[in-house]
Amino acid sequence: DTGVSQDPRHKITKRGQNVTFRCDPISEHNRLYWYRQTLGQGPEFLTYFQNEAQLEKSRLLSDRFSAERPKGSFSTLEIQRTEQGDSAMYLCASSLPSGTSGRVGVYNEQFFGPGTRLTVL
Amino acid sequence: GQQLNQSPQSMFIQEGEDVSMNCTSSSIFNTWLWYKQDPGEGPVLLIALYKAGELTSNGRLTAQFGITRKDSFLNISASIPSDVGIYFCAGLTLNAGNNRKLIWGLGTSLAVNP
């Protein structure tokens, strides 16, 4: 399977604990995105990387959240001192950079992983 | 965060019926996207629209990019049970850093009765 993979698929933790999620993008994709999705909502952008550089972070990404992509391949998202409000599906996506298709303005599709569902008790 | 207005919120239809859903925004987008999300999975791109007025089909799916660039609709013809899922519209925008960002609707949940 050469799609985006995420691990773990499910995580149950107690409030105050730290959790770390991993995302493995499609191998030739140098852009990687993290989103959070709660029930009845669309995905909300958290952050994205181009290669190992973290180019943008949403205001949703509080100080308790940190994301890394040290070698420009897989990425980790860590949540420290989890709160019940952190319970959500955390989605990772990867894409080629804009313009790669050769057509100006063409959207380079973000391919999503299956997500990690976090439940904070 | 900014989100699109998507309607209806949910639909329950009989197999074989046609379905229509739409998205509106107060902002102009240069690209409209329609995704489908199955339970426990990430969204999958169905159709991408790049020009105002563009009408694009993908099998039984048809989507249009509104002339004002502030709206889009998705039609599904002759629905089948595997069409069940949540359909999201998304608009692609450029932020202040000239980076593209997806703005998402709240989704339309579709149930199909065989």
**Integer Cα distance of A98 and B55 in angstroms:** 23
Q: A25 — contact with chain B (CB < 8 Å)?
A: no
For B16, other C-beta atoms within 10 Å of its C-beta total 12
Task: Look at A41 and B42 and tell me if their CB atoms are within 8 Å.
Answer: no
Spatial CB neighbours of B59, under 8 Å, sequence gap ≥ 6:
none
Give the model confidence (pLDDT) of A48-80 as tens digits.
999 999 988 988 888 999 999 998 899 999 999
Task: Look at B33 and A115 and tell me if their CB atoms are within 8 Å.
Answer: no
Give the model confidence (pLDDT) of A9-42 as tens digits.
999 999 999 999 999 999 989 999 999 999 888 9
Does the structure show a pLDDT above 70 at A102?
A: no
Q: B52 — contact with chain A (CB < 8 Å)?
A: no
What are the strands, taking DSSP E only, across chain A? 5-7, 10-13, 19-24, 31-37, 44-50, 53-57, 65-68, 75-79, 88-95, 111-112, 116-120
Closest residue to A43, CB basis, from B4, B48, B104? B104
pLDDT number for residue A40: 86
Closest residue to A42, CB basis, from B31, B48, B105? B105
